[in-house]
Structure 1
Amino acid sequence: MDTALEAERVEAIRRTILEVEGVESLHQLRTRRMGGAALVDVHIQVDPRISVTEGHQIGEAVRQRLMDTFEDISDVTVHIDPEDDEKAPLNLDLPLRRTLLRELQGYWKDVRGASLIRRVNLHYLGGKLHVELFLPCLGDPQKAGELASALEEATLRHPQVASVNIYQEGCTSSVHSAP
C-alpha cells in the first residue's frame, strides 16, 4: 500500500533539495512509501538562461544528494523547470524551433547580412520567446552595430518575441541586447 511520507520527513527532503547549488526553488514535491522504499518526485526551478546540460547536471545532483542523505529513498524523479510552471503563463501557443525560424526568415529577408547568423538560441519564458542570435566576429564595430540593430528590429516584429540578444562569436563582448 502506498502512503505519503511524514510531514517532517518531507520538510527535510525539501531543505536538502534547496541546499543543492543551482536550485532556485522547488514545487510539486510528491513523496510516497512503497513497502520500505521511499519515492520522490519533484520539480526544481533553475536559472532560465543556463544550458540544458547544466540544468540536467543540477537535477542529477539533487537526485544523488537525496539518495546519499536518505537511505530509504530508492527512486527520485527530478523535473527541471526554467520558471514556476504553476504560476507562469503557459508557452503552449508558442511555435517550436523549425516553425519559428521559418517565420523569422520572413522578417529577416530584407536584412543584409542576416545570412551570417550562425546559431539561434530560443528561450520560452513567461508566455513569450526570447531570442539569442550569434554572428561571427565582424571586426568593424560600426557594421556589427548596424547589422545587430537591423536584426533586432526585424526579430522584434514577430508578435511572440519579447527580447533579442545578439552576440559576436570570437569577440570580447556582445554586440547588442534589447529587452
Structure 2
Amino acid sequence: MNKNWVIVTPMETGIADREKGIRALKRMRSAEFVGDYGTYLSGLYQSETMTISTGVHATGEAMYGNADAALDLLQRMMRTFSMALPGSMSEMSPDYGCAVQAWTLYATAVPIIRHFVGVKPLAHLRTVHIAPQIPAAWEGKPVTLTQLRIGDTAMDIRLLVREGTLHADIANPSGYKVVLEWNGQTRIFEETQILLHL
C-alpha cells in the first residue's frame, strides 16, 4: 500500500512467476520507484534511498534477465561513493546513516558476481556453474574476477563478449567441474586452464 521497496524481494529471490515478475520490475524501474541514487524506500514518498533497496532491486532485475537495468541501478548507487565516507557508500543515499553495513557489499557483489559474471558455486560438489549475462555497456570490455574463493580453491575468471561471442579464460587450479552456459549452449570442463570462444 505504501509502495515499500520490499515488494521487489519475490523477484530478488526468483520466486515470482516470470511474467508477473517482469511486469512488476518494469513498473519499479520507473521514476515512481527510482531516483538519482537508486530505489526509494517508498515509491509513495520518494524521499529516502538506501543501498539495500537499490541492491535488492538490482538483484531482482538481474534475476529476471535484465542486466542493463541492474547496471543502471548500481551506477546510481555508485554516485554516492566517497561522498560522505571515503572508499564506501553511506547506508542512506546519498550521504547519511551508518558508515558500514553488510548490505552495501551485497548490493554490489551479488548482481556482479552471481548475475553479470554468472557464478553459481556448488563447492560441496566441486562444481561451479558460470552463466554470464553481460550488460550491453560492458560488451567489448574484459570482466575479470581474480582469486574468487570457492570452497578449497580460488579461481581467476576473465570474460569478454564481442559481437555475441563469449571469450572465456578461467584458471581452475583445483580442477573443479566448470559448467559454462552461453546463448543456449552448455560446455563442461575439468581442466585447470580453460580457454574458450562460445
TM-score band, normalised by shorter chain: under 0.3
TM-score, with structure 2 as normaliser: 0.26
- Which of structures 1 and 2 has the bigger CA Rg? 1
Q: Relative to total residues, which structure has the larger strand share, 1 or 2? A: 1
- Quick one: higher RCO (CA 8 Å, sep 6+), 1 or 2? 1
TM-score, with structure 1 as normaliser: 0.27
